[in-house]
Structure 1
Amino acid sequence: MTDDICWLTATELARGLRERELSAREVVAAHLDQIERVNPAVNAIVTLLPERALEQAAEADRLLAAGAPVGPLHGIPMAHKDTHDTAGIRTTYGSPVLRDNVPEADELIVERLRAAGVITLGKTNVPEFAAGSHTFNPLFGATRNPYRPDRSAGGSSGGAAAALACGLHPLADGSDMGGSLRNPASFNNVVGLRPAPGRVPSHPTTAAWSTMSVPGPLARTVADVALMMSVVAGPDDRSPIAISEPGAVFAEPLDRDLTGVRVAWAPDLGFPVDPVVRSTLEAQLKVFEGLGCVVEQARPDLTGADEVFRALRAWQFDLSLGGVLDRSRELLKPSLVDNIEQGRRLRGTDLARAEEQHAKLYHEMRRFFARYDVLALPVSQVPPFELELEYPGEIDGVPQHDYLEWMRSCYYISVTGSPALSVPGGFTPDGLPVGLQLVGRHRGEFGLLQIGHAFEQATGFGLRRPQVLDG
């Protein structure tokens, strides 16, 4: 029964709890049992609060028995990303600098999830200060890939994605600047959505006007991502870029006829992609054709995306972490120190040039989506790589010079502001997951989810369970 409960979708769990076919106590207990059995093999959840979770579950059951009004995620257990502040719960950001940090207030996305009835299990592992797409840090070590424990789980929401893949919880929160929702979704065979900036508002943040880093959802199905979006999206006057449209739009049905939908397939955007990733995804183009789509090979011109991303990212790192560097340089990993110092070396002309090109990239995508409905491309340029590496040293024979370069398939998209969805796209011949990235029009998340849902239903790749569950 425990195993059955842990593989129910969040949508099924929410319905079962509302109709009292399940109790919150048995749902939470089942997931705690799964964590006890499986988490030691993957190191996905790094702070666990079993007694607190069971107390919250008992209260959730009491409210249901009393017929009280409850939220759409009432009784569903979650662990929160360890870079998301949680009131009264240790939040370390994967750094020795904050090993004993206990925030006084919830971050906005956590606030909304708890208001919707989520029960907090604990926190999920991250790279130090979420820097990089490989989850390891000096406090908790590395998160292992559930499909091959000697491989990376991606990052920075790597603990969240690995936990989903193992049935440790049915929904997860994360954040994405250069791919931190999409890369771990790809590596762990789950679904991750980078929403348009402001769709899921951020608070508190030192860069309230920035469009670079966005919070968002991870789940095992597109429908569950939509369910979570219905809760975490929507306006909030604490965020100056919050989109005014309410999150309720994401509660609408995802089923849609894709006849005539124009899909642009881009095997790359001008950078190397591992041939096994390319061939795995190219084999899926026939799925879109079978759904009635018109598929063409085409890609937008994203010249300048690298310069824009690196400049704005470095500036934001200095803004948010410059004080940490001044106080605790010796406690930060060298690559993080280098990123902050890059921000300090920027001149006004560097930022001016980046912002000018940033605008051009937006208009290039606007024109591209006048011709196509969705852009399809790899999420990650490589399959999950060896756990002991900081980043892949080469892709298809081309050297990668730092821990960002191999992530261009995600961060080129980040700087356009377009929403992007990672859905399970197949497996390499040796069983490693490969994610398909679907990119939509400006603020077009719901249509993107509909397309991703149709692809997911036609393929069933997300149903394949990971190797680590076999013991």
Structure 2
Amino acid sequence: MAEFLEWDAGKLAAALRGGDLSAEAVMVATLARVEARNPAVNAIVDLRDSEVLMAEARTADLVPVDARGALHGVPIAVKALADVKDMRTTQGSPLFANAIAESDSAFVARMRDAGAIFIGKTNVPEFGLGSHSYNPVHGVTLNPYDASRTAGGSSGGAGAALAMNMVALADGSDMMGSLRNPAGWNNVYGFRPSWGVVPKEVGAESFWQQLSTIGPMGRSPRDCALLLSVMAEAEPRVPFNMPAQDWTLPEACSVAGTRVGWLGDWGGAMPMEDGILPLCEDGLDVLREAGAVVEDVAPPFDAEVMFQSWSDLRAFALAGELAVLFEDETKRARLKSAAQWEIKRGMQMSAMELHHATRVRSNWFATVAKLFEAYEVLVLPVAQVFPFPAEWEWPKEIAGVEMDTYHRWMQVVVPASLLGLPTISVPVGFNAAGLPMGMQMIGAKGTDARVLEIAEAYHAATQWPHKRPPHIPNA
């Protein structure tokens, strides 16, 4: 067994950079593991030709040690929404099933420059819409802990690939909760950085659309920081860049004296499946035992007003990106119904409705800024249900409360997403059925490194990702 595939990404990357491991040996082991484990979950799609990958690995081994980048020789599968030169970018849509990328997405190019070797793509829902990774091109991604359940989304393939130790690092993107939901449901970490830390693509609309961002996933916050150090690079042609940060975490991270605010179920406004809140409270106890001060926080803002602001801004953004498909009747018919509904909403939105949504957003930002004067991080569950049956489109009710939209059941991620705040999903364990759950740690804008540090201290005390999925094939 190739034990190095079980290592943290930082240790693996260091061994590859220093020549203690060959990229060829790592690629041989990685391809064998993908062959053995991927069929059970369908996490990695569009796997590249093995002979080509082996040739790239052998070429990487010829690079002088002093010229090797941070990700030298590390096998990575890129989310199917992003471009990798000469690979398909399907976005999970039959409309783009044969779309070949002519160049890398900006963050992919940075990863390539750092030495990463791209082995394939990770599965997503169509256009990344919805927290359940199924689509008519690649099929459904299943949960490593229960193959009858979803792995979440939209970075569901990434989360499942990490949980199965097929890759050591993964990129993801997060508009609503797409880095956090699959992390929580796959017992790994997903970090949504402050909006602007990872710049948008040059030329993409980014003055209005400040909702989605690229970010890292890994089996530890320290590994997330490693990948983010490559992704986060100032781009003067894109507005709203965040100042450079040092992504090197202390060797021993601490939460002693850290003030933590627990928001629970937002005073009952966000219904939760039984078992979620107690697991999160167990996670808070870990922080207490490590020296943090944890306090309950009353609902600081109207959850419904916030959700409507979010829903309007999301529909507006998606219409801007996808209206060209909707306006073509032939192409419209090939879009899933949730996409059609949301695009149509955005196209019909008035300027005053949009203005109202941004006003609410501004008021919530001012409110939460005041909270961060008292607390270093705020905590919420990462989902309102445990991984649900893979044949469902989405949960139609939670705890007897009907969900009125396909994304209402993920309302708990909106407080951070609406403001572009740095937020990490950390594992909190498993319910009686063995299904994973996570909680969100949310920091003030720009405090990304500190949020990662707090999460790393929690990780050192818990080590949840080492609780391996049962009955996985060996390789």
TM range (shorter): over 0.9
Report the 3-state secondary structure (helix = DSSP H, G, I; strand = E; otherwise coil) of the residue aligned with 2:275. Answer: helix
Counterpart CA distance in 2 for 1:302 and 1:28 is 50
Counterpart CA distance in 2 for 1:243 and 1:456 is 26
Counterpart CA distance in 1 for 2:325 and 2:73 is 37
Equivalent AA in structure 2 for residue 132 of structure 1: G
Counterpart CA distance in 1 for 2:440 and 2:169 is 20
Query: Who is 2:241 aligned against?
Result: 242
Unmatched 5+ residue regions in structure 1? none
Contact 1:10 1:171 in 2 (8 A): yes
Once the two structures are superposed, residues 126-164 of structure 1 have per-residue CA deviations (whole angstroms, 9 ceiling, x without a partner) of 100001110000111100000000001000000011011
Report the 3-state secondary structure (helix = DSSP H, G, I; strand = E; otherwise coil) of the residue aligned with 1:58. Answer: helix
1:25-424 residue pairs with structure 2 within 5 A?
25-49=24-48, 50-63=50-63, 66-204=64-202, 206-209=204-207, 210-246=209-245, 249-253=246-250, 255-269=252-266, 270-299=269-298, 301-303=300-302, 304-327=305-328, 328-424=331-427
Structure 1 runs of 4+ off > 4 angstroms?
none
Contact 1:264 1:299 in 2 (8 A): no
Contact 1:43 1:159 in 2 (8 A): yes
Report the 3-state secondary structure (helix = DSSP H, G, I; strand = E; otherwise coil) of the residue aligned with 1:295. Answer: strand
Report the 3-state secondary structure (helix = DSSP H, G, I; strand = E; otherwise coil) of the residue aligned with 1:112. Answer: helix
Counterpart CA distance in 1 for 2:65 and 2:146 is 45
Name the TM-score, length of structure 1 as normaliser: 0.96
* Structure 1 stretch displaced more, 200-209 or 458-467: 200-209
Counterpart CA distance in 2 for 1:16 and 1:338 is 49
Contact 1:11 1:224 in 2 (8 A): yes
Counterpart CA distance in 2 for 1:72 and 1:161 is 22
Contact 1:186 1:379 in 2 (8 A): yes
Counterpart CA distance in 1 for 2:412 and 2:83 is 29
Equivalent AA in structure 1 for residue 317 of structure 2: Q
CA offset at residue 204 of structure 1?
4.3
Once the two structures are superposed, residues 54-96 of structure 1 have per-residue CA deviations (whole angstroms, 9 ceiling, x without a partner) of 1211111011xx4451111101000000000111111100000
CA offset at residue 325 of structure 1?
1.5
The answer to whether structure 1 residue 429 and structure 2 residue 429 are counterparts is no
* Structure 1 stretch displaced more, 190-199 or 396-405: 396-405
* Structure 1 stretch displaced more, 277-286 or 386-395: 277-286
Equivalent AA in structure 2 for residue 262 of structure 1: R
Report the 3-state secondary structure (helix = DSSP H, G, I; strand = E; otherwise coil) of the residue aligned with 2:147. Answer: strand
**Judging changes above 3 Å, is the alpha-carbon distance between structure 1 residues 97 and 205 closer, same or farther for their aligned structure 2 residues?**
farther
Percent identity of equivalent pairs: 39
Once the two structures are superposed, residues 372-429 of structure 1 have per-residue CA deviations (whole angstroms, 9 ceiling, x without a partner) of 1111110001111111111112111111122110101112320022111001111111
Equivalent AA in structure 2 for residue 135 of structure 1: S
Report the 3-state secondary structure (helix = DSSP H, G, I; strand = E; otherwise coil) of the residue aligned with 1:423. Answer: strand
Once the two structures are superposed, residues 421-469 of structure 1 have per-residue CA deviations (whole angstroms, 9 ceiling, x without a partner) of 0011111111110111100111111110111111111112121111251
Counterpart CA distance in 2 for 1:252 and 1:455 is 13
**Judging changes above 3 Å, is the alpha-carbon distance between structure 1 residues 205 and 267 closer, same or farther for their aligned structure 2 residues?**
farther
CA offset at residue 305 of structure 1?
1.5
Contact 1:146 1:468 in 2 (8 A): no
Counterpart CA distance in 2 for 1:298 and 1:92 is 43
Counterpart CA distance in 2 for 1:68 and 1:452 is 32
How many pairs does the alignment contain?
A: 466
Contact 2:93 2:126 in 1 (8 A): yes
Query: Who is 1:12 aligned against?
Result: 11
Contact 1:223 1:254 in 2 (8 A): no
Contact 1:86 1:106 in 2 (8 A): yes
Once the two structures are superposed, residues 245-297 of structure 1 have per-residue CA deviations (whole angstroms, 9 ceiling, x without a partner) of 15xx0024263332211111121122111121111111222211111111111
Counterpart CA distance in 1 for 2:326 and 2:241 is 30
Report the 3-state secondary structure (helix = DSSP H, G, I; strand = E; otherwise coil) of the residue aligned with 1:193. Answer: strand
CA offset at residue 26 of structure 1?
0.6
**Judging changes above 3 Å, is the alpha-carbon distance between structure 1 residues 250 and 300 closer, same or farther for their aligned structure 2 residues?**
farther
Counterpart CA distance in 2 for 1:458 and 1:125 is 31
Once the two structures are superposed, residues 227-248 of structure 1 have per-residue CA deviations (whole angstroms, 9 ceiling, x without a partner) of 11111113112321221315xx
Name the TM-score, length of structure 2 as normaliser: 0.96
Once the two structures are superposed, residues 178-221 of structure 1 have per-residue CA deviations (whole angstroms, 9 ceiling, x without a partner) of 00000000010110001111001111463222210000001111
Contact 1:263 1:294 in 2 (8 A): yes
Contact 2:90 2:99 in 1 (8 A): yes
Counterpart CA distance in 2 for 1:413 and 1:254 is 28
Cα RMSD for the two superposed structures: 1.3
Equivalent AA in structure 2 for residue 317 of structure 1: L
Counterpart CA distance in 2 for 1:397 and 1:341 is 29
Query: Who is 2:454 aligned against?
Result: 451
* Structure 1 stretch displaced more, 391-400 or 295-304: 295-304
Contact 1:185 1:192 in 2 (8 A): yes
CA offset at residue 19 of structure 1?
2.4
Equivalent AA in structure 2 for residue 151 of structure 1: R
Contact 2:94 2:136 in 1 (8 A): yes
Unmatched 5+ residue regions in structure 2? none
Query: Who is 1:461 aligned against?
Result: 464
Report the 3-state secondary structure (helix = DSSP H, G, I; strand = E; otherwise coil) of the residue aligned with 1:192. Answer: strand
Query: Who is 1:441 aligned against?
Result: 444
Contact 1:177 1:411 in 2 (8 A): no
**Judging changes above 3 Å, is the alpha-carbon distance between structure 1 residues 204 and 85 closer, same or farther for their aligned structure 2 residues?**
farther
Counterpart CA distance in 2 for 1:126 and 1:86 is 15
